Amino acid sequence: MQEKSVITRTIETAGGVYAPGHLGELTQIVDFSLVDAVLDETGTRERRLRLLPSRVVVYFVLALALFEHDSYRSVWGKLVAGLEGLPLVRPAVSSLSRARRRIGAAPLRLLFETLAGPVARPGQTGVFYRGLRTVAVDGTLLHTPDDEALMWRYPKRIGEVMEFGYPLLRLLVLIECGTRALIAAAFGPESDGELTYTKRLLDALDTSMLLLADAAFDGGEFLRDVKATGAQFLVRSSARRVPTPDGHLADGSYLARIGYGVLPVLLTVRVIEASVTVTLADGTARTEQWRLLTSLLDDDRHPASDLVRLYHERWQAETTYFSIKATMLDGRVLRSHSLSGLDQEVYALLATYQALIRASADAASTRPGLDMDRISFTVLLQTAADTVTTASNITSPAGPADLLGSIGRTALNTLQPAWRRPRVKARSRKNPTSKYGPNAGQHPQKAQTYTFRADITFFEHGLASRPRS
């Protein structure tokens, strides 16, 4: 007779109608008491016990973010797949929709705000520059459904003749470089500019931080407000600005004052100008003029060459958006067809993303010196999704906390290489209505390695205007 192996395991989850309310192993981060607390604080807990309690609905909405490609019925099936033997309800799609409307966006917003924040330990690799925590801010656009109930708030882009594309939602996040943890977020209609939303993130800055940002954030009022928080900044300047040197420094940078006609008291900044040459593997070379503005005025402690290299870290914001838009959303349009539902869905996306990053940080803490850039977000997402389907590790084990768990162990067993070749990403214009049409043909059509050279200089005739890219 052929030998057989029998594997049995015990699943610990909430009892009764609360059993489907979990997020697999991520429930140890987004635990029952936390969800109950945000429901109580927002006044959205049910007044009578239902077949779909509010706590279960919150976990269902988070699971929708974890399984963006699945329908309501399919996501519910994943929540209960590992709970065989329990008397579970099988709600209709309409019941799940009504339950989402019942709790609204408030508990998901508070849940995200509770989970948000830096995760790096002091001195962690890839996060700090001379004792300052490097953070970055940037914006992106998400597509919303083409629904008249939404378009009064999220309109389409309007061309010379017609409207086109999907309605757009503008999302701004402040992230911790090196871990890509979300510190704060704001979103709304695309018609409001990036600086409008970024001002709502200022309260998240403090004296321990160095803010990195691109040329969209070089406004004098914004930089003044950043400095007022106690944070430092390193921001790329647009060609429109024409700073007058107040004094040249030994490393080739110079001091200047900005805010003429805007600020009652001018802001003193240090200006770093550099000629940057990127040479691709095929021999193609591109030279650009860079101008950086910084509140780090001491050129001995903060050499210009170091700050030019550090500025690249702001691209971690782009990597964050890639994880959310390409890995989690898979390029899909948001699924909600109401304003409250959209708010709820976006906060659920952000909260689920942050829970994954916290799981990653827990895993990295077990290996001192590990750069979190080596942890694959795709692996985190897929492993976390598997634990939902199998209802694994929903509650913490008795005894000392296990910082790894199956998510952390899988992430550490599939690390990216310690050193990766610098590569430029292939860029092609796939969307015929893209605003980047004028840049067609200016970027490589396939990924290539490159070398980077920056020569600190002083542009006597100012910066040449650069095309939008």
pLDDT in tens, 322-357: 999 999 999 999 999 999 999 999 999 999 999 999
Identify the pLDDT of residue 398. Answer: 58
pLDDT tens string 370-412: 999 999 999 999 999 999 999 999 987 655 556 678 999 999 9
- Tell me what the pLDDT averaged over the chain comes to: 89
Closest CA to 165 of 432, 462, 374, 438: 432
Alpha-carbon span 21 to 166, nearest angstrom: 33
**pLDDT, greater one: 342 or 11:** 342
Contact 274, 242 (CB under 8 A): no
What radius of gyration do the chain's Cα atoms show? 24
The DSSP secondary-structure symbol of 307 reads H
Identify the pLDDT of residue 295. Answer: 97
In the block, tokens 């003429």 appear at 260
Going by DSSP bridges, is the β-strand pair 209-213/232-236 parallel, antiparallel, or unpaired? parallel
Statement: the pTM of the whole predicted model exceeds 0.95: no
Identify the pLDDT of residue 438. Answer: 57
State the number of CA atoms in the 13 A half-sphere of 62 facing the CB.
Answer: 33
| pLDDT at residue 459 is higher than 60 | yes
In the block, tokens 């109930």 appear at 149
Tokens of 126: 């890839």
Q: Is 273 exposed, middle or buried (0-12, 13-18, 19+ CB in 10 A)?
A: buried
pLDDT tens string 267-311: 999 999 998 888 888 888 888 888 999 999 999 999 999 999 999
Identify the pLDDT of residue 469. Answer: 46
| Rounded alpha-carbon distances, angstroms, from residue 107 to 97, 150, 358 | 16, 21, 20
| pLDDT at residue 178 is higher than 90 | yes
The DSSP secondary-structure symbol of 79 reads H
Alpha-carbon span 361 to 181, nearest angstrom: 9
**pLDDT, greater one: 1 or 405:** 405
Closest CA to 73 of 49, 56, 47, 91: 91
